[in-house]
Chain A
Amino acid sequence: MSRPRNAIVSALVLLLGRGRRRPSPDERRIVPALPPNPAAELAVLALLGLSSLSALGFILIYAFAGSLPDVTQLLGASIGLALLFLAAALVVVGLKLVPTEEVAEEYPPQEHPGEQEVIAEVLDESGTRFTRSRFFKLGLLGAGGTLGLAILTPAVSFGPLFHVGDFLRTPWRRGRRLVDEHGRPYNASDIEENDFYLAFPEGSSSSQQEQMAASLVLVRLPPDKIDLPRHLAGYDAHGILAYSRICTHAGCAITLYRAPLFQPDEPKPALVCPCHYSTFDPATGGTVTFGPAGRDLPLLPVYEDSGGYLRAKGNFDGPVGPSWWGVRLWKAQP
C-alpha cells in the first residue's frame, strides 16, 4: 500500500468515526435519551443534498443564461426548490430528530389575600357620595360617545356630505363656446357622425378647468334617431349632443363610443365608461342601458351660432360626476 492511500483511508476513518461515539450509560443528562432515528437522518441528508443540487442548478443556469429559453422561470424554480428542500430538511429535523417537550407553568399562589379585600372595600365605599349614579353613568357615556363621534368626523371628507358645492359648480354659461383640447373652437361642421370629440369651455380659468364639469364628449346622431325626453327638448344642436365626460358611477372619464356603421343591423350608439362598462344611450338623453351607473349622464344644452360655432345654451340638466347620497336633490350651478 502506498502512503497517500494510507493517509486517505485513515482520514476517512477519522471523519466517519467521529460521529459514532456512543454516550456512556452513566452520563447524567437533562434531555431524556431517545433512540437514534437513522431513517430520518437519511431523509435529512437526502433533502440537504437535493437543496445543494438545486442551488448548483441555479449557478449553472445563470452561467448558461444566453442559450436557454425562459431563463427567468428556470432561475426562479431552481432557487425556489433549493429553499424548499432546505426548509423540508429543517422540518424533518424539527419533527423527527429533536426531542420535543410540553411544559405547563402553574399560576403563582395569590399574595396577601387580606390586603386585596381591604382595597376592594375602599373602592366600594368611595362611591357612596354619588346619589344619582345612573345619571352620572349616562353623562359619562354621552361625553365619551360625542368625543368619539368628533374624532371620526374627518372621515366624512371621504365622501361629500357637508360641502357639496364644489361638486355642483360648472364652468358653463350661456353663450360660452366649446373648444377642443388645443383651444380651437368647434364648428358644427367639424362634428361627424360615428366619431366622438372631447370639448372644453373656451377661455376658462385654471380653477374652472379643474372642475369635473369642464370636459364634454360631443357626438352627432341623425336627427330622426334622437328621442330626448320632454324636459330635455331642444338640448341638441341639429343632432349634436354634448354630454358630461364624467361617468355618474365612479367618476371615470368616458372614453369609449359604440358607433354602429349600419344602425338597423347593429347595436345602438352608446357612450361607454371603460372602468365598469356603464353604458349610456346618447339618443335618449343619456339613460343608462347597462352597467352599475345609477343615473343618467348629464346633458349640456348647446346651439349653433350664426358663425356655425357651438355654444352652451345653459347648464347641465343634473349634477355632474359620481353620485353620492342625495345627489338627485341638487342641480348643477354656474
Chain B
Amino acid sequence: MRAVLTVAVLAAAGLLAAGPAGSAAGGTPKKPLAAHGYHLYGEYCLGCHGGNAAGRANEPSNATGAGPGRDQGQQAGIAPSLQGVGALAADFYLRTGYMPLRHLGLQPRREPLVLSDRQIRALVAYIASFGGPPIPKPKPELGSLSQGQALFAEHCAGCHQVVGQGGYVTGALPPPLDRATPLQVAEAVRIGPYVMPKFSQHAISDRQLDSIVRYVEFAKRPDRPGGWGLGFLGPVPEGLVTWFLAMPALLVLCLLLGRRLRS
C-alpha cells in the first residue's frame, strides 16, 4: 500500500515537473488510440519514465526514495527512456504485468494485469509513436522442435533450465516460462528484459526463434512417464538418485536383516 502511494506521489510530482515540458515537445498524439495512451502514460508511467518518455536516468537516487532491494551506493536514476523501444517492448512489459512496477529497483516479475486490453493497446500505440521496432509475429508452427531444443539448450537453458522451469543467477531470478505466451517469448528474446541479454538476428534468426518458441510451448507439458521428474534433466540425476538414495536404503535394509556372528 505504501509503495503504491509512493508511486502515486511520484507520478503526481512527475506530472507537475515534467508534464508541461513534455507536452510542449511531444504534444498529444493525433491518433485517438495513442492520445488515450498519452493520458494513461501520465497516470501510470510518467512518475518514473519522465515526460515525453525521455527517461529519468541521470537523477540522484535519493530524489526518488528507496524501494527494498535498492543499493543506494551503486544506483542512480530512476527509469530508462522509452523513446525508440517501440511497440515491441511496451507490449511485452504491459502484457506480462512487469509494468507498472510495484517498487523501484526491483526485478520486474509477472503480476496480475492492472490495465485492460484496450488500455494496453493505447499505451503501446503511444510508446510506438516515438518509433522503434514493432511487435514480432512468431510462427511456432514453422519451427522445428528438435532444432528448438538444441537452440534453447545453447542459448536459454543456462539460466531458464532445460524445460524452462526458471532458476537463479547472480543478481536476478530467471523466471519460469510456463506462463509465457509464444509472443512474449519472442519479444523477450529480442528485448532482453532486466539482465537477460538481447539476441539480435545475428545470434538467433527469426526462423530459429520460431523453433525456440515451439520448444518452449512443448516444454510447458513435456512427455512425462509420471513420478518424480527431477527437472527433466535426463538420466544423470536419475542415476544419482539410484546410487545415492536407493542403494543406501537397500544397504540399510541388508544391515537390519543380517545378524553379526559373535566370535
CB atoms of B170 and A267 under 8 A apart: yes
* A309 interface residue (CB < 8 Å to B): no
Verify A102–B261 contact, CB threshold 8 A. yes
B196 interface neighbour in A70, A104, A259, Cβ under 8 Å: A259
A194 & B77 in contact (Cβ 8 Å cutoff): no
Q: Are A265 and B75 in contact (CB under 8 A)?
A: yes
Q: Are B198 and A194 in contact (CB under 8 A)?
A: yes
User: Closest B-chain residue to A104, C-beta based?
Assistant: B263
- Cβ of A256 within 8 Å of any chain B Cβ, yes or no, is yes
Say whether B158 contacts A256, CB under 8 Å.
Answer: yes
B169 at the interface (CB under 8 A from A): yes
For the complex, what is the distance from the CA of A82 to the CA of B213, rounded to whole Å?
45
| Cβ contact within 8 Å between A72 and B77 | no
B127 part of interface (Cβ distance < 8 Å): no
> CB-CB < 8 A to B105: which residues of A?
265
Q: A262 with B79: in contact, given A192-B200, A195-B203 (CB under 8 Å)?
A: yes
Q: Is the CB of B226 within 8 A of A194?
A: no
Complex Cα gap A277–B196 (Å)? 15
The listed residue (A180, A195, A274, A290) touching B197 by CB distance below 8 A is A195
- Cβ-defined contact, A262 with B158, below 8 A: no
Q: In chain B, residues 24-38, which have Cβ atoms closer than 8 Å to a Cβ of chain A? A: none
Considering the complex, which residues of chain B in the window 216-249 have a beta carbon less than 8 Å from any beta carbon of chain A? 225-227
CB–CB B225/A72 < 8 A:
yes
B169→A69 contact, CB < 8 A:
no
Contacts of A270 in B (CB 8 A): 170-171
Inter-chain contact B197/A196, CB cutoff 8 Å? yes
Q: Which B61-78 residues have C-beta < 8 A from chain A?
A: 61, 70, 74-78
Q: Is B195 an interface residue (CB 8 A)?
A: yes
Nearest CB in chain A to that of B159: its residue: A256
**Does A279 reach chain B (CB closer than 8 Å)?**
yes
Q: Are the C-beta atoms of A272 and B169 separated by less than 8 Å?
A: yes
Q: Kindly report which residue of chain B lies nearest to residue A198, judged by CB atoms.
A: B203
Please, how many angstroms separate the alpha-carbon atoms of A196 and B155 in the complex?
Answer: 11
Inter-chain contacts of B75 with A (CB < 8 A):
264-265
B2 beta carbon closer than 8 Å to chain A: no
Looking at the assembled complex, report how far the CB atom of A204 sits from the nearest CB atom of chain B, in whole angstroms.
Answer: 21
Secondary structure dominating the interface of A = loop
Q: Does B199 contact A (CB under 8 A)?
A: yes
Looking at chain B's contact residues, the main secondary structure is: loop
Assess whether B57 is in contact with A264, with CB atoms less than 8 Å apart.
Answer: yes
Name the A residues within 8 Å of B61 (CB-CB): 264
Known contacts A195-B199, A272-B170, A277-B169; A72/B227 CB under 8 A: yes
Partner of A261, one of B78, B80, B170, B257: B80
Interface presence of B172 (CB below 8 A): yes
In the complex, residue of chain B having the shortest beta-carbon distance to the beta carbon of A256: B158
User: CB of B192 within 8 A of chain A?
Assistant: yes
B141 contacts which chain A residues (CB < 8 A)?
A: none
| B104 at interface by CB-CB < 8 Å | yes
Interfacial chain A residues near B192, Cβ < 8 Å? 194-195, 259, 261
Interface contact A267-B172, CB-CB below 8 Å = yes
Cβ B198 vs Cβ A259 within 8 A: yes
**Residue A258 is within 8 A (CB to CB) of chain B in the complex:** yes
Q: Which residues of A are found within 8 Å of B193, using beta-carbon distances?
A: 261
Q: Is the CB of A73 within 8 A of B227?
A: yes
What CA separation (Å) do A92 and B54 show in the bound complex? 82
Question: A232 within 8 Å of B by Cβ?
Answer: no
Chain A: CB-nearest residue to B79: A262
0 or 1 for each of B1-20: is its CB under 8 Å from A? (1 = yes): 00000000000000000000
Q: Given contacts A195-B199, A260-B194, are A265 and B158 in contact (CB under 8 A)?
A: no
Q: Which of A73, A266, A270, A291 has the most CB of B within 10 A?
A: A266
Contact B158 A72 (CB under 8 A): no
- Verify A73–B171 contact, CB threshold 8 A: no
Q: Taking CB as reference atom, which chain B residue is nearest A260?
A: B195
Inter-chain CA distance A84–B40, complex, in Å, is 68
Q: Does A45 contact B (CB under 8 A)?
A: no
- Which residues of B sit under 8 angstroms from A69, Cβ to Cβ? 226
- CB <8 Å contact, A264 and B195: no
Enumerate A185-208 residues with CB–CB distance to B below 8 Å. Answer: 190, 192, 194-197
Do the beta carbons of B170 and A266 come within 8 Å of each other? no
B-contact 0/1 string along A222-235, CB 8 Å cutoff: 00000000000000
User: What residues of A have a CB within 8 angstroms of the CB of B195 in the complex?
Assistant: 258-261, 266-267
Q: Which residue of A lies closest to B157 (CB)?
A: A274
Q: Given contacts A102-B261, A195-B202, list 17 more A-B pairs with CB under 8 A.
A: A69-B226, A73-B227, A195-B192, A195-B199, A195-B203, A256-B169, A258-B171, A258-B172, A259-B196, A259-B197, A259-B198, A262-B77, A265-B70, A267-B170, A267-B195, A270-B171, A279-B170
* 24 cross-chain CB contacts under 8 A: A69-B226, A70-B226, A71-B226, A72-B226, A91-B257, A180-B202, A194-B198, A195-B197, A195-B198, A195-B200, A197-B203, A256-B158, A256-B159, A259-B197, A262-B77, A264-B61, A264-B75, A265-B75, A265-B78, A265-B105, A266-B171, A266-B172, A272-B169, A291-B170
Minimum-distance CB pairs A-B, first 4: A267-B171, A264-B77, A70-B226, A274-B158
